Amino acid sequence: MATNTNGGLFTVKQNDTGRALVFSSTTGTQAFDLTASYITSLTPKMRVQGGAVKALTATVTGAANGEITVNWAGTDLDTVGVFELEVEVQFNGTAPGLLANKLVTFPQDGYINVRVIDDI
């Protein structure tokens, strides 16, 4: 099961890794082309504001429409709190136009907020 969010709030219970977070890498209404041959790396990160960064795992699940999916694992959701999440995409030299050899962070206008609530 997946939940779509674009700069919104994703709420999940502590340690529940069965629901993926899905969002689009867009600027306004324009989606970025995330074709695998254009990308060198995809680096999702999450932190409590001002806190330590957790490295996560993400995949491109819709290249043409810029869709990225974060699949939770292990200790990703073991701490209760509100976290800021972003994904850095490193484009290689074959990427079209101005994206060639550039690093772009999504969402570009803030973070996806991930709220982990206490499990009974």
Q: Which pLDDT score is estimated for 96? A: 80
**Global pTM?**
0.87
Three-state SS at 59: strand
Q: Which pLDDT score is estimated for 7? A: 52
Three-state SS at 27: strand
Q: Which pLDDT score is estimated for 5? A: 56
Domain ranges of the chain: 2-117
Q: Consecutive sets of 10 residues in the chain, 120 residues long: mean pLDDT of each?
A: 63 95 84 89 92 94 93 94 95 84 90 94
Q: Which pLDDT score is estimated for 49? A: 83
Q: CA–CA separation, 120 vs 112, rounded Å?
A: 25
Structure tokens at 115: 């709220």
Q: CA–CA separation, 68 vs 22, rounded Å?
A: 6
Domain 2-117 annotated CATH 2.60.40.3350: yes
